[in-house]
Homo-oligomer: A and B are copies of this chain.
């Protein structure tokens, strides 16, 4: 469907509520429930269209609001009022509400039971077979599009205030919104992320994705089929890159079980029952290795597998793959602060399973050869010297939505993050490769923001990297008490490394600096 036609249909759907405009309640300090049931001056009762249970009306195109994040709903109402979100029905209603009324009614709907989009195993099984599942749970990485659940959370039940629950929402509404994002009729998100998603979709894919999301239960156990596959599809369209095998190629035997365990560890390292014991922050492998380690130019595992054993300056020895993986735990996952206090042993089940996962997806790659798509593509030098100050502004604009204003990510539970922390206690330490400005810049330009890789300019990527890598973070585990010695031995590339430098009042890497940061976070600076 062309964008203009889509937007017309969205408009037509949104005109219907006018038929139901009725008695208005007095504007004032009414409770959310009163506002919803009786309306306010200039605002008809919400229940007219969104129902007394808040579940909306599929036929009318009215979305379910029950259980949706209050802040998200409030933002939408403000956007309707300001015109940031264009909607001829909701605009006058939102304008008629005070800030307090908006907050009250949003909180009222947030508190309603979202109910369940499906109540029995049979309907869940049916949903599992829907063609839209793959995009929703695995993403569409051949167009660099992450899974819906990558932002909207497990089971698409929403994350924080920016990513509303999609599960159980009416398919027609979801479809209309995707088309509105696609056409540009709707654009009230941050960074144009939804436009990027919707633009990658055909009309058929929109229909399919909407149907699957609508079929997902809004409460109760998240069904297995709503969880990402351990080996998500990669890249039919990325013809220049290696195509790792698909899940259906994985044998159903002991080895296959090891691969699946490895894939799970890869995705949820910090909260894995066993692997998590070796993670001293809240990082998982997938944070740096997109699409569960399968995406070209995002340090894919299939390009790394055939590169070891290799000598590494990092620890001044030849490393096997097991030792290389231990390095990830030691540095990127700051094992020294973990329960175990160190990386898992080279022959531990954790390392074996991670290796099985890597090995399996590397099937047929040529041993010892550098594959296109490996690592992060080396970035051109910036036109101007990179600047943490410029980076700060860019961060607020492009990154804070997911990684937080304070760089502390979006947490779902203790050590479980939808979006990872980038500095502070829960981030990678000063020994991780990502602490180098050039590595971070290359990663950012090729992979960030999620769903819009390559959208930042080279200069922006460098500036962002400089901002992020000049923040306090956990000590380099190779530090033995002498900062200068650690710099000399392990941080020789001074041009790309803030370790040991003073930025924004923090003597980075010096003893006490992370404590200073922690204290200032609590007390303010």
A357: nearest chain-B partner, CB-CB: B309
Smallest distance from the beta carbon of A348 to chain B beta carbons, Å? 9
Query: Taking the nearest CB of chain B, how far is it from the CB of A311, in angstroms?
Result: 4
CB proximity to B under 8 Å, residues A294-352: 305-306, 308-311, 317-320, 322-323, 326, 345-347, 351-352
Which residues on the B side are within 8 Å of A352 (C-beta)? 309, 317-320, 323
B-side contacts of A109, CB under 8 Å? none
Q: How far is the CB of A186 from chain B (nearest CB, A)?
A: 46
> Which has the most chain B C-beta neighbours within 10 Å: A305, A308, A322, A353?
A322
Chain B CB count within 10 A is highest, among A258, A318, A363, A365, for A318
Once the chains bind, are B309 and A367 in contact (CB under 8 Å)? no
State A441–B311 Cα separation when bound (angstroms): 40
CB distance from A377 to the nearest CB of B (A): 23
Residues of B within 8 A of A355 (CB): 309, 320
Contact flag A347-B365 (CB < 8 Å), given A258-B311, A311-B258:
no
Main secondary structure of the interface of A (DSSP, over half): mixed
Which residue of B322, B345, B364 contacts A366 across the interface (Cβ within 8 Å)?
Answer: B364
Of B254, B310, B347, B362, the contact of A367 (CB 8 Å cutoff)? B362
Highest count of chain B CB atoms <10 Å: which of A320, A323, A353: A320
Contact B366 A255 (CB under 8 A): no
Which residues from chain B contact A346 at a C-beta distance below 8 Å? 322, 345-347
Point out the residue from B311, B322, B323, B366 that lies within 8 Å of A254, measured CB to CB: B311
Instruction: Choose from B253, B310, B347 the contact partner of A322 (Cβ within 8 Å).
Output: B347
Q: Which of A360-393 touch B at CB < 8 Å?
A: 360, 362-369
Chain B, residue nearest A359 (CB):
B309
Look across to chain B and name the residue whose beta carbon is closest to the beta carbon of A308: B359
Report Cα–Cα, A310/B369, bound state, in Å. 22
A356 located at the interface, meaning its Cβ lies under 8 Å from any Cβ of chain B in the complex: yes
Shortest distance between the CB of A402 and any CB in chain B (Å)? 34
> Once the chains bind, are A323 and B347 in contact (CB under 8 Å)?
yes
Q: Is the CB of B364 within 8 A of A367?
A: yes
A363 to B309, CA, bound (A): 12
Partner pick for A311 among B255, B309, B369, CB 8 A cutoff = B255
A355 CA to B306 CA in the complex, in Å?
12
Number of interface residues of A (CB under 8 A): 35
Q: Chain B residue with minimal CB distance to A313?
A: B254
Q: In the bound complex, what is the Cα–Cα distance between A362 and B322 (angstroms)? A: 18
* Separation of A351 and B319 alpha carbons in the complex (Å): 11
**Listed residue (A362, A363, A367, A369) with the most chain B CB atoms within 10 angstroms of its CB:** A367
Q: Are A365 and B362 in contact (CB under 8 A)?
A: no
Partner of A306, one of B319, B356, B367: B367
Q: Which residues of B contact A310 (CB under 8 A)?
A: 255
B residues less than 8 Å from A356 (CB atoms): 309, 318
- Complex formed: what's the CA distance from A355 to B319 in Å? 10
Residues of B within 8 A of A322 (CB): 320, 322, 346-347
Measured CA separation A176–B7 after assembly (Å): 96
Cα of A365 to Cα of B369 in the assembled complex, Å: 9
Instruction: For the complex formed, measure the closest distance between the CB of A483 and the CB atoms of chain B, giving whole angstroms.
Output: 27
Set B258, B305, B318, B369: member contacting A255, Cβ < 8 A: B318
| CA gap between A364 and B368 in the complex, in Å | 6
Whether B368 contacts A311 by the Cβ 8 Å rule is no
- Asked whether A369 lies within 8 Å of B359 as measured between CB atoms, the reply is no
Residues of B within 8 A of A366 (CB): 364-367
Shortest beta-carbon distance from A252 to chain B in Å: 12
Other A-B pairs beyond A320-B347, A359-B367, 18, CB < 8 Å = A253-B311, A254-B311, A254-B317, A258-B309, A258-B311, A306-B367, A309-B359, A317-B352, A318-B353, A319-B352, A320-B355, A322-B322, A346-B347, A360-B368, A363-B367, A363-B368, A364-B367, A365-B366
| Interface positions of A (Cβ within 8 A of B) | 253-255, 258, 305-306, 308-311, 317-320, 322-323, 326, 345-347, 351-353, 355-356, 359-360, 362-369
**What would be 20 A-B contacts, judged by CB atoms less than 8 Å apart?**
A253-B311, A254-B318, A255-B309, A255-B310, A255-B311, A258-B318, A306-B367, A308-B359, A309-B356, A318-B356, A320-B347, A322-B322, A345-B347, A363-B367, A364-B367, A364-B368, A364-B369, A365-B366, A366-B366, A366-B367
Q: Can you list the 8 inter-chain pairs with the closest CB atoms, starting with the nearest?
A: A346-B347, A346-B346, A363-B368, A254-B311, A258-B318, A255-B311, A364-B366, A362-B367
